[in-house]
Amino acid sequence: MIIRRSEEQPRWTLLRRFPVPRGFHAASRSRVQAGREWPAPEGAGNVKRMQVYRYDPEGDERPRVDTFHVDLDECGPMLLDALIKIKNQIDPTLTFRRSCREGVCGSCAMNINGTNWLACTRALDELDDPVTVYPLNNLDVIKDLVGDQSHAFAQYAAIRPWLRASPPPKDRERLQSPEQRRELDGYYECILCFCCTSGCPSHWWNGDRFLGPAVLLQAWRWLADSRDEATGERLDELEDPFRLYRCHTILNCTRTCPKGLNPGKAIAEIKRKLLERQG
């Protein structure tokens, strides 16, 4: 079913506008300085250095990088274990997000040795020394490793990420065939960690209007759902030089997804569907 473009103001034009690219601090604060060095405990023989970004925008200090020498013989196997150990035993002011510790909540996404990934699924013995740990870029820093995801989630809300369909008959469920269900594979697994969006150059420069790979993958997830009845409406909402077509197929997003998903393919599927309906 194709529904023509409505005259209604698309809701994401109401999103907050950013006068400067997000994640860039005021010039006087942008230079990162060397921070404090925390030595390894006496007698530790298996030590890794963690160089961790620290910044409190509410304070007067510039951002800094603290170096923690962590005894791996007294630590769990994952980077998240090391961060928890630092917080519990060395510096309780270190701030980061985490919840599930098994790669399903998306909270602990950060930039680890230059790559966006989840701290809870990155093994310490895979990481070269020193390990650099920064917040996801292109997000305003709330504190240390915690970035502000308000804009990313506002963009997610703007695609109305739920089933838009008339109610099913009272006496049966809304059914899908196994083939229809399989169309969602590779998309429904997205945990909204925003590793991909944070690594997307188009989103760095046009993030106020370009939806970015995570939200576009989610948009395709609903377009691919056989139960959804709002295909035309969803396509109308995406057909825009900025929202969708600012993707230049650089595929940073696909390279960085810690769940092995392919947002670049989802974006290509949306473009294909738009071409199809043009006939």
Residues forming the site for ligand SF4 (CB under 6 A)? 190-196, 200, 202, 213-214, 217, 247-253, 257, 259, 261, 263-264, 267
> How far apart are the C-alpha atoms of 175 and 141, rounded to whole Å?
44
Residue 100 partner contact from ligand FES, ligand SF4, none using kind-dependent CB cut-offs of 5 to 8 Å: ligand FES
Nearer to ligand SF4, 63 or 103 (CB): 103
Nearer to ligand FES, 214 or 247 (CB): 214
CB of 217 to ligand SF4, least distance (A): 5
Partner residues linked to 66 by β-bridges: 52
Which residues sit at the interface with ligand FES, rule CB under 6 A? 98-101, 103-108, 118, 120
Count the Cβ atoms, other than its own, within 10 Å of residue 25: 16
Question: Are 196 and 257 spatial neighbours (Cβ–Cβ below 8 Å)?
Answer: yes
Helices then strands, counting H and E runs in the chain, come out as 10, 8
Question: Are 219 and 271 spatial neighbours (Cβ–Cβ below 8 Å)?
Answer: no
> How far apart are the C-alpha atoms of 273 and 223, rounded to whole Å?
9
CB of 232 to ligand FES, least distance (A): 35
Count the Cβ atoms, other than its own, within 10 Å of residue 39: 11
In terms of Cα–Cα distance, which of 133, 157, 124 is closest to 14? Answer: 157
> How far apart are the C-alpha atoms of 140 and 57, rounded to whole Å?
9
CB of 268 to ligand SF4, least distance (A): 9
Residue 120 partner contact from ligand FES, ligand SF4, none using kind-dependent CB cut-offs of 5 to 8 Å: ligand FES
Residue 213 partner contact from ligand FES, ligand SF4, none using kind-dependent CB cut-offs of 5 to 8 Å: ligand SF4
Nearer to ligand SF4, 50 or 217 (CB): 217
Nearer to ligand SF4, 175 or 250 (CB): 250
Residue 192 partner contact from ligand FES, ligand SF4, none using kind-dependent CB cut-offs of 5 to 8 Å: ligand SF4
